[in-house]
Amino acid sequence: MKPIELERPAKRAGKWRAVAMTLREKRTKRLAYLFVLPALLFFVLLNAYPLVTVLLDSFQFKNLMNKALSGFAGLTNYKEVVQNEYFRTALKNTAVWTILSVAGEYALGLLSALALNQQIKGRTLFRAIIIIPWVVPIVIAGMTWTWMLTPDYGIINLWLVKLGLLKEPYYWLGELNTALLTVVFVNVWRSFPFYTISLLAGLQSVSRDIVEAAAIDGAGVRRRFWYIVLPQLKTVSLTIVFIHIIWTAINFDFIWVMTEGGPLYSSETLPIMIYRYAMQDYNFGNASALASMMLGFMISGFILYYFFSVRKNRR
Amino acid sequence: MLISRSKQRFLTLLTYAVLIGFSVYCLFPFLWMLATSIKPDAEIRTVNPTFWISAPTWKHFENVLHGSAFLTFFKNSVFISAVTTGASLIISIFAGYALSRFVRFRGVKLFGIAMLLSQMIPGVLLLIPLYLVMKNLSLINTYSSLILAYTTFTVPLCTFMMKGFFDSVPFEMEESAEIDGCSRVGIIFRILMPVSLPSLVATSLFAFLNAWNEFMFGFVFINDEEHRTLTPGISLFKGLYQTDWGSMMAASVMSVLPVVIIFVFLQKFLVEGMTAGAVKG
């Protein structure tokens, strides 16, 4: 009997506290939802809703130039996009643009991060200088490089000719086989600092003890790099490479500012194609279909990435 | 310690060589831009270009300032970026606070996931429907269209940055304020804001930079000179001036100026901020 009697008042108090908590908790909850409401409104109205519209519009005839044609289109838009004579070029260009950019950025980022990780004087200054390209508007970066690359009086051409590497100035952005590669080069220049910073953070978290232990065991600089430092950068690397594959594939600004997809579609990528469909042909149905396809690519990328990271975490 | 002396010296030298190489690579375009902008045309159009300018001139700057709509573009950009910054800051302070303190509610947790996803949705894919939305609201060619779009795209990043800052403020400080009878909003503005002021500045500069640098929406939503922002404006100079690279570079120098100033202030926080949204978020 006694234990029960002893327990009762305590229980009651607990119950009272629970009631009080829920009242307080309820008010807090309302407050919490109120706090996120504005951000949520922006998300729903200008992110989620448009995204759903893209998906829906991709199955509709929607052409601002030809309003007579409307209604359900089935897969016609998708068919039209895929059968567009430049679709394959754009797809291939997007792949080349993305892979080369990300590879170049990673290489430069890793090299600069390794250099910045050494104990030397003036590290902060060097780090600041290396970040600079990343904070400047893409338009300005593109414009400045366009000027340096012009065939008439562009400094890069003049120097290459002087060094004997080129016979005469070359129109880097205007020739079919170099236009895309040149934009890749400039994109690498602007984007690699992000890798530098992320990889530097990763490098600084590599435990010195392990490195020292390996050194005592007789592992040379190269061995220590390949077997200790690099594996520890795996997670950071995977994340930034993944993010940048998406960021690069969807980038519109760089290519548009430097070549507008030309000459003769030789640097046209899928985002440029979306823009052309929408803003030059006013064919919003086709544009939406292409955007939906890109979304599909992205989501498959996500799923792949997710499986990768889950499998790694399990190990 | 870990390697021999001579090897160490070699490594240091190599490091300096690499870093100096990178510095030249990163800075050269800006230096060349600056040099071009103050060179007279005769020195720009030469087969032996140098950094040595025998007759520096402000002609290109004057040309851009008086002979073009540059000042209008600049003002528009400042206005739009400032309003965007203010709006996203206020929105993300509250959202970030909720994400930091109220994650125990399922709705808030879901909201966090939504923010994370929205960071991943690329602008190009939303270009068409956003254009149509703006058109239906007859917001094309207004400041509001850009402010709305930019705010949408900066809020998630700012929210995660604010959440990170709030996470580092001990909860006890809030509790004591609450006991003293301070309301939640009061707590945020009287206790948390002053403590995280530097971080607040960093976040707002980030938002400003994002809006200042944006190109695509400004290019698509605005068709008249009066409302055009700087980045599309400059890209259109290209067609206007054809080969007047002096003026082009003068315009570039002036548009980079605010960025440089922000950069100097932001340097310390930049690393943190760059990784807050993308990697941590």
Give the closest-approach CA distance of A113 to chain B in angstroms. Answer: 10
User: Could you tell me the residue range of the domain that residue A228 belongs to?
Assistant: 87-267
Separation between Cα atoms, residue A253 and residue A271, nearest integer Å = 9
Q: Is residue A80 assigned to a domain?
A: no
- Cβ atoms of residues A55 and A282 within 8 Å: no
A42 and A180 co-located in one domain: no
Q: Is residue A289 assigned to a domain?
A: no
* Residue contact A32–B27, C-beta within 8 A: no
Distances (CA, A) of B59 to A1, A148, A218, B33, B62: 100, 21, 64, 15, 5
Give the closest-approach CA distance of B41 to chain A in angstroms. Answer: 11
- Cβ atoms of residues B131 and B220 within 8 Å: yes
A92 and A51 co-located in one domain: no
Separation between Cα atoms, residue B2 and residue A5, nearest integer Å = 71
Q: What topology is assigned to B69-280 in CATH?
A: MetI-like fold (1.10.3720)
- β-strand partners of A61: A71
Within chain B, which residue ranges are assigned CATH 1.10.3720.10?
Answer: 69-280
pLDDT one-digit tens code per residue, B70-118: 899 999 999 999 999 999 999 999 999 999 888 888 889 999 988 888 8
A101 and A34 co-located in one domain: no
Which helix or strand (DSSP H or E) is residue A70 part of? strand A70-72
Separation between Cα atoms, residue B33 and residue B29, nearest integer Å = 6
Tell me if the pTM is above 0.90. Answer: no
Total beta-carbon pairs less than 8 A apart between chain A and chain B: 268
Separation between Cα atoms, residue B42 and residue A44, nearest integer Å = 55
In total, how many domains does chain A have?
Answer: 2
Q: Using alpha carbons only, give the angle A19, B109, B90 rounded to the nearest 5 degrees.
A: 100
Give the best residue of A94, A136, A191 to mutate against chain B (max B CB count within 10 A): A136
| Residue A216: CATH number of its domain | 1.10.3720.10
Question: Could you tell me whether strands A60-62 and A70-72 are parallel, antiparallel, or unpaired per DSSP bridges?
Answer: antiparallel
A52 and A92 co-located in one domain: no
Query: Tokens at residue A5, please?
Result: 């009697």
In chain A, residues with a C-beta closer than 8 Å to the C-beta of B35 are none
* Residue A226: CA count within 13 A, CB half-sphere: 4
DSSP state of A283: B
Query: Tokens at residue A91, please?
Result: 């797809």
A121 and A191 co-located in one domain: yes
Q: Which residues contact A246 (CB under 8 A, 6 or more apart)?
A: A298, A301, B120, B122
- Cβ atoms of residues A193 and A130 within 8 Å: yes
**A110 in reach of chain B (CB within 8 A):** no
Separation between Cα atoms, residue B22 and residue B33, nearest integer Å = 18
Q: Using CB atoms, pick whichever of A32, A46, A236 lies closest to residue B149.
A: A46
A94 and A48 co-located in one domain: no
In chain B, residues with a C-beta closer than 8 Å to the C-beta of A111 are 18, 22
A206 and A143 co-located in one domain: yes
Separation between Cα atoms, residue A107 and residue A75, nearest integer Å = 41
* Residue contact B124–A135, C-beta within 8 A: no
Written as tens digits, the pLDDT of chain B (281 aa) is: 556 788 888 888 999 999 999 999 999 999 999 998 888 888 887 777 778 888 888 888 988 888 888 899 999 999 999 999 999 999 999 999 999 888 888 889 999 988 888 887 888 888 888 998 898 899 999 999 999 999 998 999 889 888 888 888 888 888 888 888 888 888 888 888 887 787 888 888 888 988 998 999 999 999 888 899 999 988 888 776 666 888 889 999 999 888 888 877 777 666 655 555 443 33
Give the closest-approach CA distance of B258 to chain A in angstroms. Answer: 10
